[in-house]
Amino acid sequence: MKSRIQIAVAITGASGSIYAEQLLRKLSTLIQDTSSVVVVMSDNAKLVWQTERGNESFKDLPFRIYDKKDFMSPIASGSSGCQTMVICPCSMGTLGRIASGISDDLITRGADVCLKERRRLILVTRETPLNLIHINNMKTVTEAGGIILPASPSFYSNPVDLEAATMTVVDRIIDMCGIRQESYRWGEES
């Protein structure tokens, strides 16, 4: 039986809906079987998406979307086949709940499952400046096996617009998920 990559993408109410939108768009082109990707959004994520993106395109995603309180979702159990969870963007409140082991919704439960099962958990944090509590929470999650991937665009590829700049972060997320892709690499010409 051929295995497939299974990814959960969670979207919280932190600013940065463009990262989630571009990540999901790119995943839909890289993964042939869209049932290999599931999505969960917080209520605030939907509101922020509408505010920042000016639309409700999250409703038209080709992926299965679970309600944030659906603890019957496969990502709520360690017996599921979900190998990677990306929280993009990840609010500091969500980070704090994960660092404290509070599984009060499907996003934090899915993150808890990834950590306890030693699976890949990628938190695309989006906040500035950081206070000591944020930094300590990042340290705690990192020590537990999570990956903190700040939504900090790179500029050495000379991005020409906002979408190209944010795509530098999305490409790093895709790389961290272990998915092969064509993207800019250091030392290559743009």
Could you give the domains of the chain? Answer: 7-176 (3.40.50.1950)
Report the candidate in 99, 86, 33 with the shortest Cα–Cα distance to residue 64: 33
Please list the pLDDT of the chain residue by residue as tens digits (190 residues): 344 558 999 999 999 999 999 999 999 998 877 778 999 999 999 999 999 999 999 999 899 999 999 999 999 999 888 899 999 999 999 999 999 999 999 999 999 999 999 999 999 999 999 999 999 999 999 999 999 999 999 998 889 999 999 999 999 999 999 888 777 666 666 5
SS3 38: strand
The pLDDT of residue 89 is 98
Give pTM, 2 decimals.
0.93
Tokens 């920042």 found at: 52
Asked whether 156 and 188 are in contact (CB, 8 A), the reply is no
**What was the pLDDT predicted at 104?**
96
151: CB partners within 8 A, 6+ apart: 16, 19, 88, 89, 124, 125, 126, 166, 169
Q: Which residues touch 175 (CB under 8 Å, ≥6 apart)?
A: 181, 183
